[in-house]
Structure 1
């Protein structure tokens, strides 16, 4: 696995690969890698000649300085994981100046309103930060296909909309949520949970499974009430929000229409760790 430590080295590498006609798959990350990330590279390897990873902790998508400071940084371990996977050909580790050559600030985007739903309400400016770094990485890496986990489903929708708006020749793939044996969706932030908290946090998945069982059997207000009741009685957990939304528009719904697809979204604070999860309702 080649390690590319700046924009110039990356671009020279990409140019050589493009000259050889290589089809490039790409999955950007902020590091603190886990099996969920590895599943992205496995999917990419099956469909491309070359797979590229990147690690860059993007400051503009954090809403507070303390969350940025607490974000786990495990570069040496991440490199070993990527090498051991056998699915990654090159790792790009840009410096801040490679992504933000002038000022470390986000561009402003219009994603037709999907950026204003759910996470957009609770984390203003977050998706501008995400889109800014993804746009720049796409321009530098020039992938044919890019892979993102469905755990961050709204982010996936934003990136699809970004590619559409900018007319980028990149196919975006959503990869299924990777869960541990208890159902907890793997996340870099999970590493900050204690063993006890990780066990307790499986309640998120258990709740989503129940929501899927209740789907179309009881009303959405009844489902909302039951979810609130579950977390009201869960010690050490605080429900930030729960919503059932149209998968296309991400708008919250209070009624099921047969021709629409829906997904349940759940955000819970466990101690000082914010966990997000979601599930397609079928």
Structure 2
């Protein structure tokens, strides 16, 4: 595995690979890699000849009171995991490489509407930071395919829309959420949970599953289901941010034309913010049931 810290050096290496006809898959991460990240790398290996992984804790997507300074950084362990999975290239830039003139006057990429709801409503500017850095990384790597986890369903939807809108020649592939045995979605932030909170945390996924089951049984009073779920989360010790039942295509309210729903949830447990989602196909006979039910 070769490690590069500049865009110029990585581009040169990838150009050499492309000249021999090799395809490129890209997995952008912020490091502190766990089994969820590794599942993305494994999927990338299936999809292309060359796998590039980036590790960059992007300050542009963190709010003023968020955990940028405390975000876990485990570069040595991350490198060992990536090497073991056969990753060929690791891009490990410094902030100055990505934002050479600083972030205040840096051009930004915005996906309107979709980026302002759900997580975007409580984390203003977050998704502008995500789309800006992913756009830059795509321009540096120029991948044939990019692999993202479905745990952050809204982020995946936003990146797919950005790629469509800007006519980027990148195939964006989602991979089902990796979970612990008790159902908790794997996340770098799970390490913030104390022992008691870690025991409570799987309740978030359980409530999502219960809500999906109610819908599968024909209960379609979605606002009532959302309210009940938020109360259940509070009773378990969470501080709910949102619990929303949406059309999986556009993350808007469910309509009679909706074929696939996604139930999105975010809640704090102590100081740790957890997100998760599940999907449900309302029309099993359609071709739209392609999203993983996680």
TM-score bin, normalised by smaller chain:
over 0.9
Name the SS of the counterpart of 1:68 in structure 2.
Answer: coil
Query: What is the root-mean-square deviation in Å for CA atoms of aligned residues?
Result: 1.5
Query: Which position in structure 2 is the counterpart of 1:265?
Result: 264
How does 1:1-282 map onto structure 2 within 5 Å?
Answer: 1-86=1-86, 88-105=87-104, 107-215=107-215, 216-235=218-237, 237-253=238-254, 257=256, 259-282=258-281
CA distance in 1, matches of 2:53, 2:269: 30
Count residues in correspondence: 278
Q: CA deviation at 1:66?
A: 4.5
| Deviating 4+ runs (over 3 angstroms) | 105-110
Distance 2:198 2:83 in 1: 27
CA distance in 1, matches of 2:110, 2:59: 20
Q: Secondary structure at the match of 1:129?
A: helix
Counterparts of 1:25 and 1:70, CA distance in 2: 30
Offset at 1:112?
4.6
Deviations 1:85-129 (A, max 9, x none): 23x111110111221122224534442511111111111111110
- Gap change, CA 1:274 and 1:110, over 3 Å in 2: same
Distance in 1 between residues matched to 2:126 and 2:260, nearest whole Å: 25
Deviations 1:188-238 (A, max 9, x none): 111111233222100011011101111132411221232122122113x21
Query: How far did 1:258 drift?
Result: 5.2
Is the contact made by 1:107 and 1:128 (CA closer than 8 Å) also made in structure 2?
A: no
Contact 1:107 1:129 in 2 (8 A): no
Q: 1: distance between equivalents of 2:129 and 2:178?
A: 25
Distance 1:133 1:202 in 2: 31
Scaled by the length of structure 2, the TM-score of the pair is 0.90
Where 2:160 maps in the other structure, the secondary structure is helix
The DSSP-based 3-state class of the residue aligned with 2:256 is coil
Q: When the two structures are superposed, what TM-score results if normalisation uses the length of structure 1?
A: 0.94
**More deviation in 171-180 or 3-12?**
3-12
- Aligned to 1:52, the other structure's residue is in SS state strand
CA contact (8 A) 2:111 2:131 kept: no
CA distance in 2, matches of 1:82, 1:272: 30
1:21-55 residue CA offsets vs partner (Å, 9 max, x unmatched): 11000010000110000000111101110111000
Unaligned 5+ residue runs, structure 2? Answer: 282-294
Alpha-carbon offset, residue 65 of structure 1: 4.8
Larger mean Cα displacement after TM superposition, 176-185 or 101-110: 101-110
Provide the rounded CA distance (Å) in 2 between the counterparts of 1:139 and 1:100: 14
